[in-house]
Copies of this chain bind each other. A is one copy, B any other.
Amino acid sequence: MTTPDDATHQAPETGLSRRALLGLGGGIAAVAAAAGFGAARGTAAAAAPSAAPQPGTFAFTGAHQAGVVTPAQDRLYLAAFDVTTDSREELVALLRRWTTIAARLTQGLPAGPLGPASGPYDAPPDDTGEAADLPPAGLTLTFGFGRSLFVGTPGPDGTPGTDRFGLADRLPGGLVVLPHFSADDLDPARSDGDLVVQACADDPQVAVHAIRNLSRAAFGAATIRWTQLGYGRTSSTTTAQRTPRNLFGFKDGTANVKAEEEDALAAHVWVPADAADADAADGVDSAWLTGGTYLVARRIRMTIETWDRTSLREQETLVGRTKGEGAPLSGGTEHSEPDFTATGRGGAPLIAANSHVRLAHPDQNDGVRMLRRGYNFTDGNDALGRLDAGLFFLAFVRDPRTHFIPMQSRLSAQDGLMEYLEHTGSGLFAVPRGVPDGALVLGADGTPATTDDSPFVGQDLFA
């Protein structure tokens, strides 16, 4: 039996575990400081010269939330929540708790003490424990708000929803009701939600653990509406990442907006200040979302078995790229620019008019680009034995009215791939900017703690 390569196999067991962190005593504060909690990073480094940055962590605080331009982790667990309280105070208290727990979990700390050495023995542990020996695995937690949080859910007869939290005049213009697209067969039980949390990590157990502990902290204030596990990333968000493949077997996201493209991020991903100016003309104060973004989530089931019986020629024609290299059918290599004018025998375009690469290209979409961050999913099978599998599409955009709806309208009507696709779930969320560096409240042990004054994600929405 060949011994597996250590670097490949042992990865989840390398790195500093949560347990090791706890055992370090003073190390907790040092790590927290090095990660940017409560102090400017340079100062912290000077104060704790022996503290190495915690491997496998991304800072929770910053101008933007982590989990957008962060190098796309391998695994996803995403949960949408319904808020069950009508109390604005309880909603704010939930967001405070979530912020503290997220700041802890993303730095490799447990949600709270695990046991009797540090907590009461006759109470439940503050952390559920199943990630206690695992490294941080690059966990990011990204929070967003659904339209129903602002204006409630309309009744089936069209009666308006209820503004439970006094937020109706804060509803940003982009948080619209998405129109019906041709390939939609949406399941309400897999769609919408008042709140969303995207957990990304390189270990799925770390992502699921995070959602479980946040869900637990929501007891009495919010319950899970739907969740989605994604096991393979289908996008790269940095130029250093290899382009991954979707379940059609094709490379996906070659033309994605990348973290290094600051101008493109400003133009296509982050909500600009002038969006609030436009909303102000409609009597809405959406300045709280400046510097944030919108998350479009679409559960796209693929008819895998049908696709697998089509010829390679048909597959490549529909995508507009080669399957192996991912090169445009007009020639070159993966990152060559497609030449939509190139023709072959009989004058037919080498890249077909109904190919995905043509219809989704910025040249065909008023120059619009997205930052995609989707994942492959497989949720068992249907009664006919067909895999319930596909792409859980996630995209971050500055405004879905310009950056999602037009393109999706075109694709759903014209893209030849749509024959193999069915949209079965949908969500749109406003993703507020990040909690500023240095804003978190630290407890006696130097780790993030929740108080009545703790900052929280989305705080400016409630100001």
Contact = CB atoms under 8 A, between A and B. Distances in A.
A232 interface: yes
Q: Which bucket holds chain A's interface residue count?
A: 35 or more
Interface in A115-147: 115-117, 119-125, 127-133, 135, 137-138
Contacts of A250: 129
Given A130-B246, A242-B13, A387-B227, A56 B376 contact: no
- Total identical chains: 2
Interface stretch (A152-160, A309-317, A349-357, A395-403): A309-317
A328 to B, nearest CB: 16
Interface stretch (A1-9, A93-101, A171-179, A416-424): A1-9
A379 interface: yes
A410 interface: no
Contacts of A224: 381, 385-387
Contacts of A19: 324
A77 interface: yes
A384 interface: yes
A189 B223 CA distance: 28
B15 A245 contact: no
B387 A215 contact: yes
Contacts of A247: 128, 130
A312 to B, nearest CB: 5
The 6 nearest A-B residue pairs measured at CB: A129-B249, A5-B55, A223-B385, A205-B232, A11-B11, A204-B231
Interface of A: 1-5, 7-9, 11-15, 19, 34-35, 53-59, 62, 66, 70-71, 73-75, 77, 81-82, 114-117, 119-125, 127-133, 135, 137-138, 189, 202-205, 208, 212, 215-216, 219, 223-229, 231-232, 241-242, 244-250, 304-305, 308-313, 315, 322-324, 376, 378-381, 383-387, 389
